[in-house]
Amino acid sequence: MSVLEIKKAGDPVLKKVSEPVKRIDKKVKRILKDMAETLYKSKNGIGLAAPQVGILQRIVVIDLQDGNGLLELINPVITKKKGSQIVGEGCLSVPNFEGDVERAEYVECEYTDSKGKPQFITADGLLAICLQHETDHLDGILFTDKAVTITLKVSED
Ligand code: NI
């Protein structure tokens, strides 16, 4: 496994639309492992999408650090959204900034797991926000493209 370099805003790869994964082979499993390692190595990261490490495939890893562990999503699609809320967000690709973004309160999401099995989840709270943020990455959209306000974070380190 290896920690991958996280691409930062301004890198054109972050603005591209990722390709669906056609086959879950060794290479895809390796990408999932490397992405998880990269996420865990990051400061305060709860989600990472493959384009953020320069890989234009529809792969996302999420760990809300709430004890539920790692969620590996291949070809995630949000199939239903309900409600609306304005939430503060950040992104590993846009360090030192946060912004208020309008997101659905509840989402339903279909994806394929690392074993190739179709999965369906419903989410609200932080997971719903994270799913919307990460699937946006797969379409080349950053939270700063949608944010109603963006502020510079005052870092303590
Ligand atoms: Ni992000």
CA-wise closest residue to 103 among 140, 135, 68, 128: 128
How many angstroms is it from 136 CA to the middle of ligand 1?
8
Looking at the annotation, which residues are catalytic?
134
Residue 74's pLDDT is 98
Residue 155's pLDDT is 65
* Positions of E strands within the chain: 47-49, 59-62, 71-82, 85-89, 97-103, 106-112, 118-124, 149-152
Question: In whole angstroms, what is the distance from residue 48 CA to residue 68 CA?
Answer: 16
Pairing of strands 47-49, 85-89: unpaired
Residue 43's pLDDT is 85
Say if pTM beats, i.e. exceeds, 0.75. yes
For the chain, percent of residues with pLDDT exceeding 70 = 98
How many angstroms is it from 110 CA to the middle of ligand 1?
20
How many angstroms is it from 124 CA to the middle of ligand 1?
18
Residue 121's pLDDT is 98
In tens, the pLDDT along 102-153 reads 999 999 999 999 999 999 999 999 999 999 999 999 999 999 999 999 999 8
Question: In whole angstroms, what is the distance from residue 85 CA to residue 102 CA?
Answer: 6
